[in-house]
Amino acid sequence: MATIRVDRDRCEGLGMCEAMASDYFELTESADGDDEMTVLREEVPDADRGHVHAATQACPVLALTLTG
Ligand code: SF4
């Protein structure tokens, strides 16, 4: 089991993570019009680790890490 960590200071709502793993990451538009990313599930079972790891690697601003 791995855990998703998000550096909120880095995340710019670019959505690459959602494109790669929409079962774990979701972008929603906030009231001020910016896209906000929500982690739907922080715990990642081994069966999902491959595509979630790929999603964390796809983040252009290196806001995502997978620990454990
Ligand atoms: S890809 Fe990176 S910057 Fe874009 S929403 Fe995901 S965590 Fe944020």
| Nearest protein Cα to ligand 1, atom 3 | 11
> What domains lie within the chain, and their CATH numbers?
2-67 (3.30.70.20)
Q: What pLDDT does residue 35 have?
A: 85
pLDDT for position 49: 97
Which stretches does DSSP call E strand in 14-59?
25-29, 35-39, 43-44
Q: Among residues 28, 19, 30, which one has the least CA distance to residue 54?
A: 19
Amino acid 31: pLDDT: 81
C-alpha closest to that of 38 among 2, 68, 4, 1: 4
In ligand 1, the atom with minimum distance to the C-alpha of 14 is 4
- 3-state secondary structure (DSSP) of residue 27: strand
* Token digits of residue 2: 């791995």
CA dist 9 and 65 (Å) reads 14
For ligand 1, atom 4, name the residue with the nearest CA. Answer: 14
Cα(2) to ligand 1 centroid in Å equals: 18
Q: What is the pTM of this model?
A: 0.92
User: pLDDT for 9-55, tens place per residue?
Assistant: 999 998 999 999 999 999 998 888 888 999 999 999 999 999 999 99
